[in-house]
Every structure is written in structure tokens, then in C-alpha cells.
Amino acid sequence: MAAVEMTEPAARTDAGLDYDVIIIGAGISGLYQLLKLRELGLRVKVFETGTGVGGTWYWNRYPGARFDSESWSYGYSFSKELLQEWDWTEHFSPQPETLRYLNYVADKFDLRRDIQFRSRVVAAHFKEATRSWEITLEDGSRHSARFLITAIGPLSTPTMPRIEGVESFKGASFHTARWPHEPVSFEGKRVAVIGTGATGVQTIQEVAKTVGHLTIFQRTPNWCAPLHNSKIDKETMEGIKKRYDEIFARCKETHACFVHTIDPRRTFDVMPEEREAFFEHLYASPGFGIWQGNFKDILTDRKANAAISDFVARKIRERVKDPVVADKLIPKNHGFGTRRVPLETKYYEVYNQPNVKLVDIKETPIERITPKGIKTSDAEYEFDMIIYATGFDAITGSFHRIDLRGTGGQTLKEAWAGGPKTFVGVQVEGFPNMFMVVGPHTALGNIPRSIEYNVEWVADLIRHMTERRLTRADPRSEAVEAWTENVRAVGEGSLVNEVDSWMTGVNRNVEGKQVRTLARYSGSAPAYRAWCDAVAVGGYKEIDLS
Ligand SMILES: Cc1cc2nc3c(=O)[nH]c(=O)nc-3n(C[C@H](O)[C@H](O)[C@H](O)COP(=O)(O)OP(=O)(O)OC[C@H]3O[C@@H](n4cnc5c(N)ncnc54)[C@H](O)[C@@H]3O)c2cc1C
């Protein structure tokens, strides 16, 4: 076990409360937040629904689940020792390896002793009299703390499609984010996959390897690009370990914390042959380069976006033999990169297999799930297994599953009725002493880089408060307005914000999420950090501290 460096213990906030800090969630955010607050000498407790650590990588055990971030850019960067100890075996790590990594981290820093598993938080109420939070678990037990930190994940509440008869199906059925812990065989089975987002794509290309027959129900095709994953040998890993400082410095500079840097040229600055060669190069390169390392105007200029979209459409047509199927796989309602780009490995070739069928449910909608399978407007299909790759109630979903109440008993749902309003994505006015790690309006992208920043910023603020014996932190209205306006302003002109997706707060399977909201901060991560740094350096004037 590694020794954790202790700073001078700050004054505990209140001996009468059960804890100084309660953290909800034991994913990447919750684990690091626990470690950082322990360093301040605080009494910290983590409550987690699952039976183990890892969050996303604990729950998403579906076949083919893996990173689209480079593994070595995704892991924690805070401990040089950890970086030197851990060997990634693939450039885009599969879920079991990432889960092993997070368990290794939990053991190395002795984190489990402060985590209570099988403990879903159902309510959290602010108590003005004691300036504290009281949380209630599913089993009815209550726990109090000065500070509440939500580390509940932007993509952690799965959604099922709103189709009649889901419960009536007699075969096996799974949501990808609630996949069983035991192996599932597809051999000889008739399997349906509903959904073709990033998760659906990963699932489909894996299931297709062994399945008896696979039917894919697609509502909206996505623009997918090749992942080009490969193994990391010992020598390469040694090289990566030597370059960690450089890698994380690079992630700090880029728009979305990936290793890919946006090309400073505009699409039509270059001759057609050069443009084509550049697109070919990106299509043949690993990871998100084609999205995050492309010409600088592909997500702001319609013509530029059409150029890259045409290029990828041609690739799909080349790879899928049946032109009718290829056409169905090409998105028509949004341009390349305006939704998160699923990265794939031989995904399009799956549709050339004789035992695979694509059903376009815009043409022939699903009417209901039946005891035997799925009934669309023109056919009845029988299945042994249905896989729901129908995604998440993203960003705000996990907040709305908790009865969260701030001052005067107002609920977070009420406070966010027209979409989230936050101060730097970390605080909500009227919810004093509550801090969100990667809440709405924070920089996402290569998410652990944003998590580390958020966690350290929150720890610094709590240190600032405990050192001064301050016990209440509520962001000022003007600061919330200014930040929310900034979130709106930096999103202007972005084609991403003109498209319905989880990134713009839309999910047709969730009531109240039919129209776009300001769900996400779409400016650059460096600009986000500059704003937050200025708040800290200025002594947190934007927050009413007392
Ligand atoms: C399939 C998939 C692939 C992804 N790939 C990438 C990638 O390649 N790169 C990238 O940057 N990001 C990726 N992400 C995003 C990923 O969610 C983040 O990278 C990161 O794991 C978020 O960590 P977190 O700790 O903030 O949240 P999570 O990992 O979601 O953890 C939140 C935890 O909170 C718990 N929780 C929630 N509500 C409650 C409650 N009420 N009571 C108790 N516990 C609760 C949950 O059980 C969960 O364990 C991916 C997401 C998915 C779903």
C-alpha cells in the first residue's frame, strides 16, 4: 500500500455530524475525491449503489466494451508511482482491464475502508440549522455531513426504450449497462440488438463473431470511424511511461483533453487532393483524430462538415456490400462529429454477414415487445435474447433519481426545470455545500482529465473553508448567471448544438427531455480551467462563504 502524503490536517468541520464529507459514487470521480479529502484530514464516506468500485467500468460489462480514449491518456495522472506501476496492454483498453486498474487504485490507496457498497442514495436534504446535508439510503438509514459531493457520473443511469411489452418477453434480455457478471453465450442464438449508438456499435461487432443470427434495430445511424486498436508490448509501454509528462501536458492544452490536436487549417484552405489525403490519413489513424484532430472548421462550417461527412459516407459505401443497407447506415439528419463519434472495429463489415439483418425502425417502427420477440409495423421477429443498447439518461439523469432538496425545500428538479443552471458546473444556487464532479456544464471530452481538475478544485475550496472555519458555500446569483451565459455563448455557432443528442439534453425515451437544453459546456477545457482558476485565485468571491 502506498503512503498517502498528508498535509497539515485542517480543522474538522463539525464533530456533531456523522462525517465531514459524503461522496455519492465510487467511480473515477468518487475514488479520487475520497483520496484528496482524506489528505485534508477530513472524515469522508462514500456511498455506492454497486458492489464494487469502478462506476462506468463496473457496470458496463457488455461484450466489446472498451475505451475510445487512448488508455494511457485516460488513467489517473496524479501519482507518478501509479503511472510507473501500471501496464496497459492495449491502446484502447477493454472494460475488464480498466476495471482491474480501478480496483488496483482502490487497493493501492486503501480506499475501500471508507466506501459503503450496495448503498443507493435516494434522498439528500440540506439542513439550514446545522448547515449540513442529511442523506437517506435505500434501506432507510440516514447519514449527515457538512459537505455533499455528487460523483454520480454523466452516463450512469440507463434508459430503456418506451416500447410496450418489454416485461412480457420470455427469453433473456439485458441492458448493456446492467450486463450480468457471468459470461453470456450467443452461440446458435437468435439475438436482437436495439440501438446503434457507441455502445450498440461495440456490442454488435462483438456479438456478430459468434451469434447464430443477429437482428439490429436502428432508429438513428451514427457516423462511426475506425478505432485501430492494437496491443501494447513491454517496450512500447516503457516508452509511454517515459513520456507521461509530455502526454498529460498535451491533454492539458487540447480542446477536449484528448491527445489529438485540432488542425489549425480550414477545410477549404487546402487543395482537394491534399484534403482527401488528410482525411485518408485520419481515417487510417487510431482513435478520435478524425474528430478531434481534423480541420478546425468541421464542427462550425456547414460546407466543411459536409466535406468530411461525404468522405465518411464514401467509406461506408465501400465497406458495406449491399448499397441499400449501406444507405440505411449513413446518417441523414446530422453531420459527421455533431454527435459523439462511435469508434468501431469491422462494424460495417458485420452487415456483410449472411446471418445479420438490419431493421430501420424509422421505416418500420417497433410496435411492441412480445413474449417471443419484437413486432414491428410489418413483421414479427422471434428471438432468444434481446439486448437493449439504448443508452443513458445523460448528465442530469442520475441527479433526478435522487430527491435532492436545497434551501427552503426546493428540489433540484425545480431548480433545473428549464435545463441546468450551475456555477462552473460544480455548484447550484440554493444548494449550499453541494459540489458536483463532472456535473452539467463542466468540460467533458477525455473525462478523467476533467475529473482530476474538478476534484482538485473542490478539495481546494473545502480546504479554503475549513482553514477559515467557514461552514456554508452558496454561489451568488450573478456568478451563476454569468457562467450560464458563458456556457450559452461558447456554444454559439457549434453545429453540435443544432443536433438532438444526449449532448444537447435530448433523449426520446425520457419524459421531459424532448427539447434541447444547455446540458453541456462546449467551450474548450483550457478556457474552462482558466475561469475556475480565476475564481480560486480571487478568493472565491463568486461564492457566498460564511
Ligand atoms: C460504455 C462507456 C464507455 C465510455 N468510454 C469513455 C472513454 O473512452 N473516454 C472517456 O473519457 N469517457 C468514457 N466514458 C464516460 C465515463 O463515464 C467517464 O469516463 C468516467 O468513467 C466517469 O466517471 P465518474 O466517476 O464521474 O462516473 P461513473 O463512472 O458513472 O460513476 C458514478 C457512480 O455513481 C454511482 N451512483 C450514481 N447514483 C448513485 C446513488 N444515487 N447512490 C449511490 N451511488 C450512485 C453509480 O453506481 C456509479 O458507480 C464512457 C462511458 C460509457 C458508459
Render each residue's pLDDT in the chain as its tens digit; 546 residues. Answer: 444 444 444 446 676 999 999 999 999 999 999 999 999 999 999 999 999 999 999 999 999 999 999 999 999 999 999 999 999 999 999 999 999 999 999 999 999 999 999 999 999 999 999 999 999 999 999 999 999 999 999 999 999 998 999 999 999 999 999 999 999 999 999 999 999 999 999 999 999 999 999 999 999 999 999 999 999 999 999 999 999 999 999 999 999 999 999 999 999 999 999 999 999 999 999 999 999 999 999 999 999 999 999 999 999 999 999 999 999 999 999 999 998 899 999 999 999 999 999 999 999 999 999 999 999 999 999 999 999 999 998 889 999 999 999 999 999 999 998 889 999 999 999 999 999 999 999 877 999 999 999 999 999 999 999 999 999 999 999 999 999 999 988 888 788 777 777 777 777 787 877 777 777 788 999 999 999 999 999 999 999 999
| Model pLDDT, residue 164 | 95
**Binding site membership of 121 for ligand 1 (Cβ less than 6 Å):** yes
Q: Kindly give the distance from the C-alpha atom of residue 54 to the centroid of ligand 1, in angstroms, as a whole number.
A: 8
Strands (E), 460-519: 473-475
**What cell numbers appear for 532 in the block?**
475556475
**Binding site membership of 32 for ligand 1 (Cβ less than 6 Å):** no
Atom of ligand 1 nearest to the CA of 198: 1
* 69 φψ region: left (φ > 0), alpha (ψ -120 to 50), beta (else): beta
Pocket test for ligand 1, best of 72, 74, 152 (most atoms within 8 A of CB): 152
**Pairing mode, strands 356-360 and 213-218:** parallel
**Pairing mode, strands 543-545 and 473-475:** antiparallel
Please check whether residue 351 is in contact with residue 242, taking contact to mean a CB–CB distance below 8 angstroms: no
In this structure, which residue's CA is closest to atom 27 in ligand 1? 153
**Binding site membership of 24 for ligand 1 (Cβ less than 6 Å):** yes
Q: Kindly give the distance from the C-alpha atom of residue 71 to the centroid of ligand 1, in angstroms, as a whole number.
A: 16
| Model pLDDT, residue 8 | 44
Q: Kindly give the distance from the C-alpha atom of residue 340 to the centroid of ligand 1, in angstroms, as a whole number.
A: 16
Contacts by 108-112 with C-beta closer than 8 Å and gap 24+? 108/1, 108/2, 108/82, 109/1, 109/2, 109/4, 109/31, 109/35, 110/1, 110/4, 111/31, 111/34, 111/35, 111/46, 111/53, 112/53
| Model pLDDT, residue 13 | 64
Atom of ligand 1 nearest to the CA of 257: 11
Q: What is the CA radius of gyration of the chain?
A: 24
Atom of ligand 1 nearest to the CA of 119: 43
| Residue type at 221 in one-letter notation | P
> What is the H or E stretch that residue 543 is in?
strand 543-545
Residue 9 backbone phi and psi in degrees, to 5: -55, 125
Q: Under DSSP, is residue 166 helix (H, G, I), strand (E, B) or coil?
A: helix
**Binding site membership of 69 for ligand 1 (Cβ less than 6 Å):** yes
Q: Which residue has the cell 443552471?
A: 421
**Binding site membership of 153 for ligand 1 (Cβ less than 6 Å):** yes
Q: Kindly give the distance from the C-alpha atom of residue 432 to the centroid of ligand 1, in angstroms, as a whole number.
A: 24
**Binding site membership of 25 for ligand 1 (Cβ less than 6 Å):** yes
Residue 93 backbone phi and psi in degrees, to 5: -65, 135
Q: Kindly give the distance from the C-alpha atom of residue 150 to the centroid of ligand 1, in angstroms, as a whole number.
A: 12
> What is the H or E stretch that residue 276 is in?
helix 272-283
| Residue type at 307 in one-letter notation | A
